[in-house]
Structure 1
Amino acid sequence: MSDLPIADHALLSDRHSAALVTRDGSIAWLCFPRFDSESVFASILDDAAGHWSIRPSTLATSTRSYVEGTMALQTTFHTDEGTLELIDALELGDSSDPHRLGENAPHTLLRGVHCTRGRVTIEMTCRPRPEYGLVVPVFAEIDSGVVATGGSGRLTLSLPAPVTGLGGEIRVRFTLEAGQHRYFALQRTRLGEPLPGAYTQDEIATGLASTTASWQEWSAIHQSYDGPWRELVHHSGRVLQALSYQPTGAIVAAATTSLPEEIGGERNWDYRYSWVRDASFTMKALWVAACPDEAHEFFDFMTAAAAHSSPDRHLQIMFGIGGEHDLSERFLPQLTGWRGSGPVRVGNGAWDQPQLDVYGELLDAAFRLSEQLGEIEPATRTFLVALADAAASQWQQPDNGIWEIRGAPRHFLYSKLMCWVALDRAIAMAEQLHATDRVAEWSTMAAQIRATILEKGWNEEAGAFTQSFDSPDLDAAALMLPIVGFLPASDPRVLATVDAIIERLTDTRGLVYRYQTDTGVDGLNGNEGTFLLCTFWLAHVLAAGGRSGEAREVFERAVSHTNDVGLLAEEIDSETGEQLGNFPQAFSHVGLINAAWAIDQAESHFPANEGTPAENAP
């Protein structure tokens, strides 16, 4: 059973796949060649599911950080005899276009060690266990490396020293003196593809240098935010870029599967897919943190993936990163789960739920990115117009809501709100969408939705806007009412809702729950931690309402839970303060970026939400 804290991991990405590295230099998670591929290493979910460690042979302490402006990780080990630097990166490959980061990624993990003081003896252990730990590969030595064969592909491990052990794992041991470097690489090839030879030491060194330079060039071109918490915002922008799948423009919700929302609980989901909601939020956050010139790619992906969509059919709420539709959920019984939190799942059963909010999220992202989109392609225009029409025709239906409730569909306030957003943004973009003839009908329907929300969304018993119509249960998603411009943050009903959430949905650490799980509304057993996105929403709304001092306090409480390399999972354990849930989580970094921006806007006397796009449109 793996019990290392989730926050002890760091992310590597080539914008095709992701790896997690522990504080002591072990690769605990790696999927090749895509984010959603079967794992090669998965010790984060089960000690027997594979890892690749490089560390000093004697007792050492470690510190780590990302190389400035990159997602290349540097870990420094300090021993009594010397100091060792370990640098890790997923190779980005060559590209003549700095805007297409990772375009030619070769699906290779690069690692280098450098002794900077004294002497250090290094131990390397590589224990690949492909297909989520099911496969124990066969090893064969080649010049300067080892080939591991088993399952659907082969792994070529390039080594700087002779193998000292080759049983169920590959072992290497050697000593470096001050000033000496050595390098490692792990490359995956599919069965039937030519087997590459081992990388040379110079090739690995060049690959690490090139990957670092590519990240830094991308950051220099794209990142111009200069407000409060600048470094956190820029880093979060790089994390979101790292969670995007370069070949299609899809964005994954997180790099992992089945890291639990409650230790020992059943709330363990596979987040390595592209949710319409999460991806749309991410694109909007990149507008602040990284100037997304990938906007066309994202909307092209969504248009192609959802090509079947029509006003009479629900838009699928999530897709595989290659545009796949069927994401049926299954269990992996061979894996015990992080800290025994099973089951471990692959796929996600929410893929075929009706969730009406996705229409608004996509159109809101399109509106925010309209300058980047410019002249919208005809297919994308047709798609976006169809989304507005779908929101108009479906908004009165019950659904499973933003939190993907696994109980009976209900009339969730947030879903109705985002149907209103869909129409509001479509009206504002009508000329760009070549849809001015639709404005009158859309305006009538938007007014109906607005009146219904104001009548049924407010609950006198709760003294707040609540989770669903005719229910007194609170939900932090009501904080989106002012964020999307439905009501001003100074509206008395919004102020009352904010105060109710602070009083009844906030833990002793000052962090916000999504909703109270003990009501049974979500159809699941157990509880969960506080939700970082919701906490950042609270900071955002406080800032928009002129309470920037309180907003800063809430923001600081949330970001105090970032790990040593600035990463956030989905939730925080209310009792221990530990990070919980899949890691790193796009939602959390999206919330950080948007809340920082809202506080900056408030303190610069330019409110982040003043009127709605339709009202402000020329």
Structure 2
Amino acid sequence: MDQPAISDYGFLSDCRSGALVGRDGSVDWWCPDRFDGPAVFGRLLDPEAGHWCLAPVAAGRPGHRVERAYRPDTLVLRTVHHTPEGSVAVTDALAAELGARGHRLGMSSPAVLLRTVEGLSGRVRMASDFAPRPDHGLLTPYLHDQPDGAVLAVAGATVLELRSDGPPLRAGPDRVRTEFDVAAGDTVGFTVAYGRTYGERPARLDPSTMMAETVQAWEAYRETHQYEGRYRDLVRHSAVVLTGLTYTRSGAVAAALTTSLPERIGGDRNYDYRYAWLRDFSMTLRALWVAACPSEASRLFAWAARSIGRPGPEPVPVLFGLEGERDISEHDSTHLRGYAGSRPVRFGNDAWRQRQLDVPGEMISAVWRLHHLLGDPLDEELREMVLGLADEVADTWHLPDRGMWETRDADRHYVSSKVLCWVAMDKAVALAPRLGERADARRWAAIRDEIRTSVLREGWNETVGAYTGAFGCREIDASALFLPVAGFLPATDPRMRATIEVIERDLGTDSGLVRRWDTDPAGFLLCSFWLVECLVLAGERERAEALFERVVGHANDVGLLSEQIDLHTGAQLGNTPQALSHIGLINAAWRLTDPTSD
């Protein structure tokens, strides 16, 4: 299947939903209701699952060239098409609420996709092909011309309203096609507004006015984010991407915009990442704290605390829906062919059912990191949460689990999971004075020390000369790089230093990429950024800087990173844009700025 490369896509967001638009001018992914809702444009996963292409008629022919960039500190994307007849700029955005500024971005977004065409030189023939297919391509809508010139697309629970302030629109049997000329100085605007079939009619907005409002909303939002450390432009842009992945209504950060983009073309490790993972919590908080502002980190924490609720007999799931939904059961699509033929296509993620021992450590660490904002003493709900999670770790740390890579085979005693159990006990001890009479700091400290002894004894493999992925195994796993990052061992510890060297030798590449394990077909970007942090902590700053600069070179032309990079072609793989990759970039840049940061 001939599909655009993953790196060909730019990311649009209104902080409740997101869209992907290709270099060819086609919007191939948009779930307008919320990030994890049904797509109305799904060509990303099947050529027949819907798209909206707006580009010169000459696109793709000899003499056609594309340049694109975001407006600074925004997710408003400007694509310039140069053709033999002239040049045009297409600016794409998801509309902000009228007058939205600061942290109101995304609170009441109107769910409107804005596209404006500006003539720059000559006279260019443009074509628009609007072919929505709601419910992930299951539905072909009825198209209705309206007296005011709009076209309504209606199917199932979805209504889309296409408008133009330029060429007239006419409904075809299953799409709206139109061609028009744009001369230098001309501006033509389009909007597609989303609504519910049995709700109010979709919002009607002036494209030029709303484009200006959306730019101002993003710029005002970014004014609250101050970062003056190293690699400032890269960090600020990654912070904008994280903002774009934040579901503002709750504060949850989606792991990625997409589902089922493969780790290997034609492979079956294709998962739905449109949810929020607690495992990533402390790393996400640290990145928001460094590159964003405290209120964003606090809102994310409040979402997680509410989602967990009062700890009970069932273990805390590793991920939740964006409004705290716990049951996000997985199912395979039977009608979508998958990106480049990679099947299955999955909606939902059954990792929520797995036992993941590392989750409490992430949460208790987050409370410890933010305790000065959360109050002294902590309120009753936070005390109960920490006490419950600490007791859960005390009772279960010795059990096997599925590990941070969420394997779908057997449970094992993963080293990284045990380390985060140690983190949970260590931070619970530190928080004990704020937790009231039920805090059992002496017991927690004893268990913490027992976990540490177990990891140091069982996690080290003398034959391999490194800490391995799980107790009693010989498989090198890049998750061992997390030990110094989590503060479990200094990077200068002789065994830890040996582990870093083995991972560099056996899992690293000349391009700076680090695989998770030796059979992993691609470099995992977060692991590469962990290696940067480890080298800084080991006192090898120059090597760390050189590695960081090689790794960030894998971003696409508008600074977006997916989950993985193909070792042979350099192509981006996996769901995109990937929050953990941008979180890793921010945290590694800050480590290069301040090696003593925790």
Question: TM-score by structure 1 length?
Answer: 0.93
Q: State the shift of 1:3 in Å.
A: 2.0
Is residue 2:549 matched to residue 1:544?
no
Alignment of 1:572 onto 2:565:
yes
Name the CA distance, whole Å, in 1 between partners of 2:116 and 2:183: 15
Would the aligned equivalents of 1:569 and 1:588 in 2 still touch at CA under 8 Å? yes
1:80 matched to 2:84? The reply is yes
Which residue in the other structure is 1:594 paired with? 587
- Cα distance, 1:294 vs. partner? 2.4
Count of equivalent residues: 591
| Distance of 1:75 and 1:547 partners within structure 2 | 40
Deviations 1:100-153 (A, max 9, x none): 321110111111111122222211111001111110100001113110000211
In the alignment, residue 541 of structure 1 is paired with which amino acid?
Answer: C
Identity, % of aligned positions: 43
Aligned pairs (5 A) from 1:142-161? 142=146, 143-160=148-165, 161=167
Distance 1:436 1:502 in 2: 45
Contact 1:513–1:531 under 8 Å retained in 2: yes
1:560 equivalent in alignment to 2:553: yes
Distance 2:514 2:279 in 1: 20
**Where do 1:296-315 residues align within 5 Å?**
296-310=298-312, 312-315=313-316
Partner residue, 2:221: 218
Map of 1:244-283 to 2, 5 A cutoff? 244-283=246-285
Change (3 A) 1:462 1:257: same
Three-state SS of the structure 1 residue aligned to 2:549 is helix
What amino acid maps onto 1:410 in structure 2? R
1-structure distance, mates of 2:370, 2:78: 34
Within 1, Cα distance between the matches of 2:200 and 2:34?
Answer: 20
Secondary structure at the aligned position of 1:47 is classed as coil
Deviations 1:54-92 (A, max 9, x none): 111224311111100101111111122222111111112
- Secondary structure in 1 aligned to 2:592? helix
CA shift at 1:165, angstroms? 5.8
Q: Deviations over 1:245-266 (max 9, x none)?
A: 1111111110000000001011
Matched, 1:325 2:329: no
Query: Per the alignment, do residues 179 and 433 of structure 1 end up closer, same or farther by CA in structure 2, a change over 3 Å counting?
Result: farther
2:574 to 554, 574, 581: 581
Correspondence list, 1:160-559, <5 A? 160=165, 161-163=167-169, 166-196=172-202, 198-199=204-205, 203-222=206-225, 224-310=226-312, 312-374=313-375, 376-434=378-436, 437-517=439-519, 527-559=520-552
Deviation at 1:188, TM superposition (A): 1.1
The TM-score with structure 2 as length reference comes to 0.96
SS in 1 for 2:7: helix
Q: Is the 8 A contact 1:465 1:474 kept in 2?
A: yes
Deviation at 1:444? 1.5
Counterpart position of 1:616: none
Flag the 1:458–1:562 CA change in 2: closer, same or farther, 3 A. Answer: same
Counterpart code for 2:503: I
Q: Which piece of structure 1 moves more, 38-47 or 274-283?
A: 274-283
User: What amino acid is the match of 2:293?
Assistant: C
Partner Cα separation in structure 2 for residue 414 and residue 230 of structure 1? 31
In structure 2, list runs of 5 or more residues that go unmatched: none
Query: What displacement does 1:182 show?
Result: 1.3
What residue in structure 2 maps to residue 38 of structure 1? 38
- 1:95, distance to aligned residue in structure 2 (A): 5.5
Using the alignment, how far apart are the partners of 1:213 and 1:279 within structure 2?
30
2:597 is equivalent to residue 608 of structure 1: yes
| Distance in 2 (alpha carbons) for counterparts of 1:424 and 1:83 | 60
SS at match of 1:258: coil
Give the root-mean-square deviation of aligned CA atoms: 1.7
The AA in structure 1 aligned to 2:198 is G
Q: Does the 8 A contact of 1:300 with 1:380 survive in 2?
A: no
Q: How far does residue 324 in structure 1 lie from its aligned partner after superposition? A: 1.3
